[in-house]
Amino acid sequence: MADMKALRNSACVVGVDESDEIGTLPGKSQLTLHLEAVTNAVRDAGLKVSDVDGIFTAGQHSPALLGEALGISPRYVDGTTVGGCSFIIMVGHAVAALHHGLCDVAVISHGESGRSGVGVSPRRDTSLTGQFEAPFGFGGAPTLFGMITTRHMHEYGTTLEQWAQVAVSTRQWAMRNPKAARREPITVADVLGSRPVVYPFNLLNICLVTDAGGAVVLTRADRAKDCAKRPVYVRGVGEGTEHVMLTQMKDLTFSEATRLAGEKAFRMAGVGPHDFDHIMLYDAFTSGPPIMLESLGIAKRGEGVRHFAEGRSTPTGAASPTPTRGCTASSRSSRRRVSCAASAASVRCRARSSRSSTAWAACSPPQARWSCRASAARSHRPALDTPAIVCFDGSGWSSGRLPSAVSTERGARASWLRR
């Protein structure tokens, strides 16, 4: 078995940015959103588009197409498509490619005209899910997550009010972000009173659908000195797969793939689930972050919602999970140098040492502040299926499949974009 520790800190993130605009953009195609994000992220790194020789992306637009549109001929491409976590998984793939000299500058890009559908090809689901689940009532992500969520309620007594608190916490972060689509405050009563979609979800339990793009640039540690920003080192990565069809999950209340991805990332980074000051969890639905906390071993089974009920996910929380994707969030922190992102919530935990790691998040040196912006994108199918986690070093990160976040130190921008 390969020793993934050999890749620890061998590559780093040197640039990150978003498309020029985010929201409802009927005048911009999906490809345009990709190209804007890549161009902006490369500029953020102090590089030129012609320096990029590795392209990583997923979805309808292949890395070959992006290369052609950018006017470059990449030495290495990766189009691994496994759902919303594809772009987190690609952090690990990019680290490996950079480490082995397959490319020198890698860019991971996601662009999606989720709301306007400009430049998006219609697709018919002929997969196993389309053949064997859709005919029996599974009509999209809300129905899939709904099954998971109601089972959790049955087994652990989780309530609608507890799920609603996740949305309330998310909105508090969005209120601080000038690019957020929804900045008005909401209450648990507002969530419970919003339009029903699929039980147990109402409208405010579900993430937004927007038009947006995001990109991150990575290079080897020995080349990072040539870039404009202080690098963020990738300390650990992990990915895992459990199922594609919801009906094949071993346990609807627990993501085995999340557990596997987390263990891999933690092992590579040399940390444990309780060594984090900050965690970010993807909140496509309000049940996602609590269940991921449980699957990662950060919370006991059935107790993930306590992090939100106790106010630990709010801007003023002592140790907070902060879902950031559904309502577009913005956060600032000057605490310790360890943070972890997994899907769209952030939780600050204890660190074993000053050089601990994060899961697809960014760390800052002592007393340095960092900020991150989350951009709402389209919800992905199926729920909690193929996690990836990334961990970043003391002046960097650590990751595993759960999130899609990129960030640099000292207040640089960070984007979370998930399908």
Please report whether residue 83 resides in a domain: yes
Ordered DSSP codes for 223-290:
GGGGSSS--EEEEEEEE----SSGGG-S-TT--HHHHHHHHHHHHHHT--TT--S-B--B-SBTTHHH
Maximum separation of any 2 CA atoms in the chain, in Å? 55
Place 392 in a pLDDT band, splitting at 50, 70 and 90. low
pLDDT, tens digit, 9 for 90 and up, residues 128-173: 888 888 888 887 889 999 999 999 999 999 999 999 999 999 899 9
Range of the domain at 103: 4-121+210-223
Query: Cα dihedral sign for 243, 245, 250, 251?
Result: positive
62 domain residue, yes or no: yes
CATH number at residue 85: 3.40.47.10
On whether residue 106 sits in a domain, the answer given is: yes
Angle, CA of 244, 246 and 247, to the nearest 5°? 115
Mean predicted confidence (pLDDT) in 83-109: 95
Q: Is the pLDDT score of 326 beyond 50?
A: no
Q: How far is CA 226 from CA 16, 47, 103, in A?
A: 16, 9, 16
Inside any domain, residue 219: yes
Percent of the chain with pLDDT over 90: 55
Is 400 contained in some domain? Answer: no
Burial of 387 (0-12, 13-18, 19+ CB in 10 A): buried
Q: How big is the chain, counted in residues?
A: 419
For strands 105-113 and 76-78, give the pairing. unpaired
Contact 14, 221 (CB under 8 A): no
* Count of the separate structural domains present in the chain: 1
92 found inside a domain: yes
Tell me: pLDDT of 386 over 60: no
- pLDDT for 321 equals 55
Q: What pTM does this model have?
A: 0.78
Residue 367 has pLDDT above 50, yes or no: no
Q: Is residue 117 part of a domain?
A: yes
* Between 44 and 121, residue with greater pLDDT: 44
126 within domain boundaries:
no
Tens digit of each residue's pLDDT (9 = 90 or more) over 91-102: 999 999 999 999
pLDDT band at 228 (very low <50, low <70, confident <90, very high): very high
